[in-house]
Structure 1
């Protein structure tokens, strides 16, 4: 069995790298949004032209990024959404809702401080964890049936 995993959410820590490295021996392929913050913010105006109003600048970027995000979530077997501590990731919450609406297997990753704020998102998930290593353990179990040692 091969799994396609979409890694959505915060882009300020190395959580994606930790999961990818930990799953290197598993039959898993990974996809994610563009994680270069400047490129993600400015892609719309860089490709489709400048905007004087920040609202339209951001909207162009969001819509262009949505092409990649929607396709990645739609193609995924498992969607992992990470909520970081530093920023409010409204986009991550949207991605989790989209994945849930599509019936995707959803794993939510966040610290204990977000438990109350994300209770509805957590309720839609098949697993809620606090560490990237736990995501790797989930993938290993799903693919091999083996528990962590």
Structure 2
């Protein structure tokens, strides 16, 4: 099983908002004539790149893992200031996951497959509750 990455989605409150950002960035790349791919730039380059093949990037939004994107490629590079950075090339499709609480952290972390939340079932019961109610129920251990 593939290793994953987990990262805070800073400034993003919901998977819907992230989907909007992804669509906007892809549209801009089309407009500029750049390759149409979603790239997320990080400061650190994963040393376990081979283990990440076939893995995903899990997004933490407002203290909960809420979604993931498949990792397609990892492209290390050096920026204009000589600092090593990394482009994470992601599948633009966002996959909702079961909610999983996470404390704040900086950068990204490795996420073992056994610790990753499962993909959401997509049942109408899951979608019927507003986010604030889901959060409260999850904190109470009822979801």
TM-score, normalised with respect to structure 2: 0.32
Structure with more helix by fraction: 1
TM-score, normalised with respect to structure 1: 0.31
